[in-house]
Chains A and B, each alone.
Chain A
Amino acid sequence: MAVRVRVPTPLRRFTAGVDEVTAEGDSIKAVLEDLDRRHPGMRERLMDDNGELRRFVNVYLNGDDIRFLNQLSSKVKDGDDISIVPAIAGGR
């Protein structure tokens, strides 16, 4: 299943500056792992050593925070829209 992933500024160094990429998978976790295969370096920024979402990373599936869905196991379908948003805005 192909989904659209919106990439925040701090991760665009892994996507050659592109702010929106395509990835595949049937769950958020599978999508993020596919994202790392296509753009190596992403995984460790998004997930910890246990494969859990890092605390400061928010992932939205069609606008809904996956922490209020089924976390990384949340199912995705073709054409879904995923946004990765760091929990902060940086600067002061």
Chain B
Amino acid sequence: MATISQSFPRSPADVSQEVTPAARAFSVLDLIGNTPLLEITRLTDGLLRPGVRIFAKLEGFNPGGSVKDRAARKMIELGLARRDLRPGKVILDSTSGNTGIALAMVGAAIGYPVELVMASNVSRERKKIIEAFGAKPIYSDPLEGSDGAIVLCRELIDADPDRYFKPDQYNNEANPLAHFETTGPEIWRQTRGGVTHFLAGIGTSGTIMGTGRYLKSRNPEIKVIAVEPDDAMHGLEGLKHMATSIVPGIYHEQQLDDKIPVSTEDAYEMVYALGQFEGILVGQSSGAAMVAALKLARSLREGTVVTVFADFGEKYLSTNLWIGWQEWRREHLQRLIGKWNVSANATT
């Protein structure tokens, strides 16, 4: 698929535009985006210098339940506009979950069939949601991870190329473009241009690439920082350890100011902490984002740190995320905080 990076708007949207939820919508697609920005206050109480604040963009409020609704809508819109997607075609992609849910939802909303290749060890909830939207799951070997799903998806398309439209979230510039056009401007408006650091986990890298590009177009001083698993062997569903993965075509590491590695255990415990101290139940990638945001924020004298909570946590209740959580106590969080000891070395 041709890239459309050149089509990023030169003049970003008017910041004075206020976000007002639609009183009435004619399609679920119109309800994507304009998610709330929540300041994390209780968890950070006493841990940050007075001029430092952390905000999280709650992408679980999207109708499909995750940040992936944005990219899915944009990729399908552009596919239809270019007639790469047209009646008779099937939407097919490899995805371990949230993009699959988003594509299934969009496909249902516009009346196109959707087939999704995913490793068979994705959570039960995700599989059921995808099926509830009428999409067909195709399972790949769990030992091969998401890269195995990518390879199987390629094989299916090679066998019958005219049958499928592949949004190709890893290489489709519509993915970061969705964030350049929506997530970035929303954060800019919601912080009244005050954001100083933006952090997001990297899976396809669409969120951080597009949002980062927009924010830097408004203020080149804003630092854009990726959050990634600390090792190839990890349990952070949705995130990629870039050094050992198939690198997405949309990923441009030189556009990042820094990367913060997060261990799976720290991220899981942060999920517990966010539930218990903020009243917000999120998935493990959001836990990782919060760990990184807190590490970074504790190294700052002042700043407004914005991160993305990619989804809520209901989809993960049956997963390993919750193994051992009963043993978790507040002192575990204190130990965790002591361990970090402002070690992020991130840009201040």
Q: What is A's interface to B at a CB cutoff of 8 Å?
A: 6-11, 13, 19, 45-46, 48, 54-58, 67, 83, 85-92
Contact = CB atoms under 8 A, between A and B. Distances in A.
B96 A88 contact: yes
Given A88-B96, A91-B96, A92-B203, A10 B233 contact: yes
B239 interface: yes
B41 interface: no
B98 interface: yes
Given A56-B320, A58-B121, A90-B96, 20 more contacts: A8-B144, A10-B232, A11-B232, A55-B265, A55-B324, A56-B235, A56-B268, A57-B235, A85-B142, A87-B235, A87-B321, A88-B238, A89-B96, A89-B146, A91-B94, A91-B95, A91-B203, A91-B204, A92-B169, A92-B204
A92 B238 contact: yes
Contact of B97 (A13, A67, A87, A89): A89
A89 B149 contact: yes
Contact of B240 (A11, A57, A83, A91): A91
Interface of B: 68, 94-99, 118-119, 121-122, 142-150, 169-170, 203-204, 231-241, 244-245, 264-265, 268, 319-321, 323-324
B144 A85 contact: no
Contacts of A86: 121, 145, 233-235
B265 A88 contact: no
Contacts of B147: 9, 90-91
18 contacts: A8-B233, A10-B232, A46-B233, A55-B320, A56-B234, A56-B268, A67-B323, A83-B143, A85-B142, A85-B143, A86-B121, A87-B320, A88-B96, A89-B121, A89-B237, A91-B96, A91-B147, A91-B245
Nearest to B145: A90
Those 7 A-B pairs whose CB atoms lie nearest each other, nearest first: A56-B235, A91-B146, A89-B96, A92-B203, A89-B119, A87-B320, A10-B232
B97 to A, nearest CB: 7
A13 B244 CA distance: 9
Contacts of A46: 233
A67 B320 CA distance: 11
Contacts of A11: 232-233
For B121, B148, B170, which residue has the most chain A Cβ atoms within 10 angstroms?
A: B121
Given A87-B121, A91-B204, A92-B204, A55 B146 contact: no
A92 B144 contact: no
Contacts of B170: 91
Contacts of B150: 91
A30 B145 CA distance: 26
Given A10-B233, A55-B268, A89 B143 contact: no
A45 to B, nearest CB: 4
A8 B145 contact: yes
Contacts of B232: 9-11, 13
B161 to A, nearest CB: 23
Nearest to B268: A55
B98 A92 contact: yes
For A6, A10, A11, which residue has the most chain B Cβ atoms within 10 angstroms?
A: A10
B241 to A, nearest CB: 7
A41 to B, nearest CB: 10
A57 B134 CA distance: 31
Given A9-B147, A19-B143, A85-B121, A92 B96 contact: yes
Contacts of B239: 90
A5 to B, nearest CB: 11
Contacts of A19: 143
Given A13-B232, A45-B231, A8 B244 contact: no
Contacts of B241: 10, 90
Nearest to A83: B143
A10 B235 contact: no
A8 B143 contact: yes
A65 to B, nearest CB: 10
A28 B240 CA distance: 28
